[in-house]
Structure 1
Amino acid sequence: MTAELLVNVTPSETRVAFIDGGILQEIHIDRESKRGIVGNIYKGRVSRVLPGMQAAFIDIGLDKAAFLHASDIMPHTECIADNEQKQFHVRDITELVRQGQDLVVQVVKDPLGTKGARLTTDITLPSRYLVFMPGAAHVGVSQRIDSEEERERLKQIVAEYCDEMGGFIIRTAAEGVGDEELAQDAAFLKRLWSKVIERKSRGGTKNMLYGELALTQRVLRDFVGESLDRIRVDSRLTYDSLVEFTAEFMPQMTSKLERYTGKQPIFDLYDVENEIQRALDRKVELKSGGYLIIDQTEAMTTIDINTGAFVGHRNLDETIFNTNIEATQAIARQLRLRNLGGIIIIDFIDMTSEDHRRRVLNSLEQALSKDRVKTSVNEFSALGLVEMTRKRTRESLEHVLCGECPSCRGRGRVKTVETVCYEILREIVRVHHAYDADRFLVYASPAVGDALKSEESYSLAEVELFVGKQVKIQIEPLYNREQFDVVMM
């Protein structure tokens, strides 16, 4: 099965689709008006210290002050053994920062919804094979490199590049890479950090000291360890810049770049546009006839599995088990495709067999192992739910492409026609008691107006009798269901 990246570029938006086996697995979208800032390094100023929250607000020049928690003012502990990490204690925020203080910080989470960006003082700079940690003195190795021999080899090579400037984390993509490539990466990262230090020394605050790469370059950097067959780009300018970028930083990728010149839009090749639309639906159909219901809220995402039209072939237990197994693959894909993060609660169909539950959990973990974003899965809870987390750094696909519904204002539901009719009738009585009017004119949506003239006409007649005034209904085609006006005449 082939794996490729499709890059679609317009003046206002860049989109990158990851296709594996002819199926869309990930979609990355970057809009010029709303470019993500994760990875950017700023020189900011502490605007407020909040001891009760053990946090501080940092002004880095954005519309909203960014958030820095005391736990994010820590030394590099990513690669230190668990027993050693226990010696690091989170100190009181008032001992760590003070109002008016200048700090060099890095964005770890984009502003999401009403929340400002999340920051850390634990600066890291990534490249193809390494992550540079300024001020650190150790070398860490990605947990995904299984071979102890390879881990030790890489550690010995990279340890030579550590000095007073900092240490390194060895990324998964470095597996099997030679000395020369690692040396180039280390030298590049040190040059980059020197430029950051130089910009910092120029003075001033609320300055960006380092900006993360553009979306196309960032995706190529992150996919360097993947077995990509080709990268197709539909923009000449972007293609040329990627050829230049890969030639300097990842020459093994240059030969995979192709300039797409077909008449058909590039995203039509694998039905990407329709897949994106389907990724915005609550309901996800499974091949067996079962389905998932995915609901994204501020606090968490919930996923419910149902057998639907799938009736199975043997017995109920086997039907439920097979549906749940199939759902694990669909869930793993939807999490990547929709870029869902934070707390995720999965409500599998209840299984009585402990063996079935264990196999479903194993299937989920195996499906999630292909995800480049860090995930953590817990056992089945007492209520039969699986709780998991997926690292969230950027907005989900829904938040990027969608906004609040003007009709329901984000509730996800609208009032029934009957409910709105009764609200109108109560409003007529309220206005009658408060003001002196000869008659009333009601402006309402087509559905509500028609209901007041037909099935609710008896109720309307009773209200007219009660207030002793005529009530006329005027249909407004542009009104939504819940919108109405009661006007005195």
Structure 2
Amino acid sequence: MPVIHKKLLVSRDAYETRVAVLENSSLAEFYYERADQDRTTGNIYKGRVMSIVPGIEAAFVDIGLPRNAFLYVTDVAQVRDEFELLAHAHGSGQDEEEAHDDDERVSLPPVSIQDVLKEGQEILVQMQKEPIGAKGCRVSTNITLPGRYLVLLPVTRHVGISRRIEDEAERARLLELVAGLVPAGMGAIVRTAGAGMARDAFASDIEYLSAEWEKIVAVGEAAGAPALVHQEVGLVQRMVRDALTDEVGEIIVDHPDTHRELCDYLARMIPRLAARVVLYSQHQPLFRRMGIETEISNLRNRKVWLNCGGYVVIDETEALTAIDVNTGRYVGKHNLEETVFHTNMEAAVEIARQLRLRDIGGIIIIDFIDMKSESNQQMLLSRLKEELRRDRARTNVLDMTQLGLVQMTRKRVRKSLYKSMMQPCPYCKKEGSILSLETMVVKVMRRIAELCAESPLERIHMEVHPRVASKINEEYSHQLAELEERYKVEVKVLANPELHFEEIEQPQESGAEAARDGADRS
């Protein structure tokens, strides 16, 4: 693969923390975490088994959330641990980047859920997948504690190596090294970042994570079920822990507190990378300065144009995501097969990029343009698989069907970016989508803050849809008062029932030219 130069951008304000990954100056990944948003994936809970359902070999566990969590029999540590011991006895075992990836169902011994769990039983479980749509969250008793170089498995006796580490000699070295370090009764998975690392790096991870596990056990023993006993770290620390590699040449942070915390963390954990953290202090907002704000806004669009003039259409449904490829304006230079092949190859690159950017998971069906040449079909599949190798999420691409469709899966642990930012459109009987209320509130508040910082105005009045105005004035009055005090400006958010839900209007009398954001009328 070509050399990739990465940058990590971290932008934080009173409403959101946003992280963008740039690869060769192109936006490759985007994540956000709202200040009032509860983190759940990776959390560890003390739960109570509420019901056993033998027909689906699963249990429902009360962990204190509105809906009971779903626990499948193969996600029970006792079952998994016995399987691991059996596998090791026959010289096999799973080697995965993240422990026990549940996108691939392994063949475990036939054990009934009734044999391992009882109603009323209290157990420690970890959130694997957030609630999505009508589905509740999915949990596992196979607890995993991620570190920088390995993932500790405190209740599973298994040692494995990331599949992305392909050198057999290095795999053997790491397996022997880590197997000799993990405490009795525990296991570990060496992460991709662990390739080439010495004993001290793994020993440090194990020491820290083992201490964390002792705290979790102590809290769990003292707490009554249901209860949260351990919360996963925030977005910035997760990204640094999971995504920071030597390819990342610069980490640009626009918030002094986050900059200091990140420098301290790297100084302790990865000293050689600490000098790459830069505090951004220019007047223009970081994401706008780097030219990615518009690109982030475009992630809601179904249609994505290709450089050649073709385009892809991405439709997310409850069951799967369908992606259609079209030649569009591209007419080629020689013949139809060449035109189609060129469009498909460019689409494969963009589709892999969009899956990462939009964090689309589950079943994905891609309808490439039909090609007669089998060699062209194989080159297309190879290109798609090659591009997906950059993806940190687990992907699996199947061969092309007789209908010319490519079926693939991508690990899903949370809502996609589109589903988390959007809501059904009330204007077109929910056939389309508009920005969610929370997304609109953050958009308006960020716009007000930017105007306060950019312009010496006496007053800033914003007119928005009544639902947006109501939420801001009821729940964000403290932040508005802080802006007024800091910039000595009068700030008012006014309801205008004539505005579309996504429109923001700034009347001229507020001291600046009228500004109006066009609405996407679904």
TM-score by length of 1: 0.81
1:14 matched to 2:34: no
* Cα separation, 2, equivalents of 1:137 and 1:109: 23
* Cα separation, 2, equivalents of 1:192 and 1:218: 16
- The Cα of 1:413 is off from its aligned counterpart by 9.2
Matching residue of 2:118 = 98
- Equivalent pair of 2:93/2:160 in contact (CA under 8 Å): no
1:208 matched to 2:211: no
Deviations 1:20-62 (A, max 9, x none): 1111110011112223311111110112222233222111111
Matching residue of 2:323 = 303
- The Cα of 1:408 is off from its aligned counterpart by 3.1
Matching residue of 1:261 = 281
Deviations 1:308-341 (A, max 9, x none): 1111111001101111001000000000000000
* Cα separation, 2, equivalents of 1:236 and 1:360: 46
SS at match of 1:114: coil
SS at match of 1:45: strand
* Cα separation, 1, equivalents of 2:240 and 2:357: 17
**Unaligned ranges ≥5, structure 1:** 415-475, 481-489
63, 76, 80: which one aligns with 1:75: 80
333, 344, 351: which one aligns with 1:324: 344
Within a 5 Å distance, the mapping from 1:385-424 to structure 2 comes to 385-412=405-432
* Cα separation, 2, equivalents of 1:20 and 1:276: 15
- Equivalent pair of 2:45/2:228 in contact (CA under 8 Å): yes
1:55 matched to 2:75: no
Deviations 1:276-298 (A, max 9, x none): 11111000000000000000001
* Cα separation, 2, equivalents of 1:345 and 1:382: 13
SS at match of 1:376: strand
Amino acid at match of 1:8: S
Within a 5 Å distance, the mapping from 1:78-477 to structure 2 comes to 88-412=108-432
- The Cα of 1:226 is off from its aligned counterpart by 5.0
SS at match of 2:133: coil
* Cα separation, 1, equivalents of 2:132 and 2:41: 12
Larger mean Cα displacement after TM superposition, 88-97 or 285-294:
88-97
- Equivalent pair of 2:142/2:156 in contact (CA under 8 Å): no
* Cα separation, 1, equivalents of 2:207 and 2:340: 55
Deviations 1:428-466 (A, max 9, x none): xxxxxxxxxxxxxxxxxxxxxxxxxxxxxxxxxxxxxxx
Amino acid at match of 1:44: G
Matching residue of 1:484 = none
Compared CA separation, residues 394 and 87, structure 1 to 2 (3 A):
closer
SS at match of 1:403: strand
Matching residue of 1:29 = 32
- The Cα of 1:127 is off from its aligned counterpart by 0.3
- Equivalent pair of 2:253/2:278 in contact (CA under 8 Å): yes
Amino acid at match of 2:227: N
* Cα separation, 2, equivalents of 1:359 and 1:328: 11
- The Cα of 1:83 is off from its aligned counterpart by 6.2
- Equivalent pair of 2:314/2:323 in contact (CA under 8 Å): yes
SS at match of 1:213: coil
| Greater C-alpha radius of gyration | 1
Deviations 1:153-175 (A, max 9, x none): 11222112123241111111011
Amino acid at match of 1:70: V
Deviations 1:99-135 (A, max 9, x none): 2111110001112123221101111111000111113
43, 47, 71: which one aligns with 1:44: 47
Matching residue of 2:514 = none
| Percent of aligned pairs sharing the same letter | 42
- The Cα of 1:345 is off from its aligned counterpart by 0.1
- The Cα of 1:269 is off from its aligned counterpart by 2.5
SS at match of 1:229: strand
1:64 matched to 2:67: yes
- The Cα of 1:410 is off from its aligned counterpart by 3.2
* Cα separation, 2, equivalents of 1:413 and 1:133: 41
- The Cα of 1:368 is off from its aligned counterpart by 0.5
* Cα separation, 1, equivalents of 2:51 and 2:176: 44
SS at match of 2:46: strand
- The Cα of 1:222 is off from its aligned counterpart by 0.8
- Equivalent pair of 1:36/1:110 in contact (CA under 8 Å): no
- Equivalent pair of 1:71/1:90 in contact (CA under 8 Å): no
Compared CA separation, residues 83 and 319, structure 1 to 2 (3 A):
same
Q: How many residues align?
A: 419
**Unaligned ranges ≥5, structure 2:** 95-105, 435-496, 502-522
SS at match of 2:127: strand
- The Cα of 1:96 is off from its aligned counterpart by 2.3
Deviations 1:182-234 (A, max 9, x none): 11111111111111111122141112221111100000001133510111111
SS at match of 1:245: helix
- Equivalent pair of 2:142/2:155 in contact (CA under 8 Å): no
* Cα separation, 1, equivalents of 2:246 and 2:379: 28
- The Cα of 1:84 is off from its aligned counterpart by 6.0
Compared CA separation, residues 319 and 194, structure 1 to 2 (3 A):
same
RMSD, aligned α-carbons: 2.3
SS at match of 1:231: strand
Compared CA separation, residues 171 and 339, structure 1 to 2 (3 A):
same
Compared CA separation, residues 355 and 279, structure 1 to 2 (3 A):
same
Larger mean Cα displacement after TM superposition, 128-137 or 358-367:
128-137
SS at match of 1:34: coil
